[in-house]
Amino acid sequence: MIRKEDVAAHLLLNPELATRVLASFIADAVKTAGADGVVVGLSGGVDSALAAALAARALGPEHVLALLLPYKTSSPESSSDADAVAKQLAVETRTIDISEMIEAYFDHNEQDAGKLRRGNKMARERMGILFDQAKKRRALVLGTSNKTEILLGYSTIFGDNASSINPLGDLYKQQVWQLARHLELPRSVVDKKPSADLWPGQTDEDELGFAYPTADEVLYLMFDRGLSAKEIVARGYDAEAVGKIEELERRNRFKRRLMLIARLSSSAINLDREIPRD
Amino acid sequence: MSTQITVGIAQIDSRLGDIEANLEHHLDWIAQAREANVDLLVFPELSLTGYRLLHLTGQMATKPGDSEAVRRLLTATGSMRVVVGLVEEDENGVLYNTVLLLHSGAIAHSHRKLYLPTYGIFQEGRFFGAGKQLSPPVDGLGLLICEDIWHPHLARGLALAGAKILVVSSAGPGHLGSGEVPASQESWEALTRSTALVNTCWVVYCNRVGWEEGSFYPGGSHVVRPCGEIIARAPFLDEHLLITEIDIREVDRLRWRLPLLRAERTDIVGA
């Protein structure tokens, strides 16, 4: 039987091997697509820093463009941390402020929208810019969503969860931190509280109501090992947190299956005809 | 076949659904192996087509006797024995995950995969028919494909029928843990080593490298002595031609003092 105190050890990776494999994923995907490199939105957080570092290692820094896409309320540390990462990796950066685009929509049409809708719009605006910049450079958009946030649905659909390729989608948050430390990314980035920075003072853990290590372990037991919520609680995890995690995972499944097509023929795309993209 | 032979493992990447490109790749590697005086060259499972074909499987189908690609491979192999993987179509239109043994301008042997994994990321049972017979070894060579070796009676059957070298062509995807090598490799080595030991056979395990749709193949191809010792291993993740000298008589010498096969019984009630 797997015990609570042993779960964290199951999430440890061999960081050098994992880094090498993920870098080879990026190199292979760029080559297969016939692209010239990747663009990545650098937020100042650990996920995008790790994705950019893997890409720089895979392709050489000259094939990576880091885009800083701040909004007027974005924390100043976000952009200084993003700069520090770009500098360390020697990748080119470009800053495009999205405030005007966001205001243009809300001020003229939807003055009453709350912070969640505004935050979603920002995430989608950034996605739109990333794909446009990728088109301009014949590049792929590098995804930065990790396994924890994908499973919890802690993302904006067609916003930050949209990408051409995602090297981090099978890494729990602990594993992102482990690889970021291994690659010696700036301490200020690795050690800070995770935040989507969609409004001042926002942190992931406050908004979710549980800590990442708990989420990672509960999701690992649930998703990777197939334990029921009851069996997880019996191992000593907080019942309320387990309940919330289970509910989020179930409620947000739609975000991980992006095209829901109504099947009329017997040759529906992706249902009857699964054609590999590679 | 001589008792001292040079085995080459072609740990290659294949382009999914591109037989033309893969054929050229095979011809390059066959030429390299001939330069190195390889006697037996092994390519991975579905090496000519790529592995995760899904609904492209039918488009890749060939009847080996009529296939231009097979004809070109036969011309290139000369006196070397070469094992390649492809999608075979039979006279009824059923598709098989097949390996061919090419030798001296002819198809000397072929094996249709007997166990089609259809769980987890594997979907073979949707697209392929399962082979129906374990073909006896030819010149002491028994052929298996990937999942086949996870069902130990097949290797046993080949060994009892005279195999001294078990050739396992694979497209085994990798997964990682905290170890120095992919966690998937630990399972494979447990399996290939125990298969070699309990059957007192050489095992030549060829796994591919590269990525298909977000899933990677780690390579880690290797050769196991009949006593279960790994004597050569290709690196992880990179294409590699692994060349190993093997002594087939080692099988006989081991069997004289470890007569597991000779002692095999089929008369035990309930076993």
- Residue A91's domain comprises 12-201
pLDDT in tens, B11-37: 999 999 999 999 999 999 999 999 999
Interatomic CA distance for residues B13 and B31, integer angstroms: 17
Share the mean pLDDT of chain A: 95
pLDDT in tens, B83-101: 999 999 999 999 999 999 9
ipTM of the shown complex: 0.91
**Is residue A116 in some structural domain?**
yes
- Residue A198, pLDDT above cutoff 90: no
Chain A interface includes B52 (CB < 8 A) = yes
**Is residue A235 in some structural domain?**
no
- Position A273 scores a pLDDT of 85
- Residue B244, pLDDT above cutoff 90: yes
Taking each helix axis from N to C end, the angle separating A15-33 and A173-182, rounded to the nearest 10 degrees, works out to 100
**Is residue B192 in some structural domain?**
yes
Q: Which residues in chain B have Cβ-Cβ distances shorter than 8 Å to A14?
A: 176-180
Interatomic CA distance for residues A128 and A120, integer angstroms: 12
- When pLDDT is averaged across residues A131-136 and rounded to a whole number, the result is 98
Any idea which of A20-24, A49-53, A255-259 has the lowest mean pLDDT?
A255-259
- Position B25 scores a pLDDT of 98
- Residue A278, pLDDT above cutoff 80: no
pLDDT in tens, A179-188: 999 999 999 9
- Position A66 scores a pLDDT of 98
**Is residue A192 in some structural domain?**
yes
Q: Which residues in chain B have Cβ-Cβ distances shorter than 8 Å to A275?
A: 54-56
**Is residue A253 in some structural domain?**
no
Contact A99, A106 (CB under 8 A): no
**Is residue B269 in some structural domain?**
no
**Is residue A97 in some structural domain?**
yes
**Is residue A126 in some structural domain?**
yes
Residue A26 distance to chain B (closest CA, Å):
10
- Residue A264, pLDDT above cutoff 80: no
- When pLDDT is averaged across residues A55-74 and rounded to a whole number, the result is 97
Interface test with A, best of B60, B176, B213, B239 (most A CBs within 10 A): B176
- Residue A258, pLDDT above cutoff 80: no
Task: Return the amino acid letter for B145.
Answer: I
- Position A268 scores a pLDDT of 86
Q: What is the CATH number of the domain that holds A109?
A: 3.40.50.620
A276:B54 CB<8 A: yes
Q: Which residues in chain B have Cβ-Cβ distances shorter than 8 Å to A18?
A: 176
- Position B23 scores a pLDDT of 98
Taking each helix axis from N to C end, the angle separating A46-59 and A173-182, rounded to the nearest 10 degrees, works out to 50
Contact B125, B97 (CB under 8 A): no
3-state secondary structure of B206: strand
- Position A277 scores a pLDDT of 79
A17:B214 CB<8 A: no
Selecting from A14, A21, A276 the residue whose C-beta is nearest the C-beta of B213 gives A276
User: What is the domain count for chain A?
Assistant: 1
- Residue B191, pLDDT above cutoff 90: yes
User: What is the domain count for chain B?
Assistant: 1
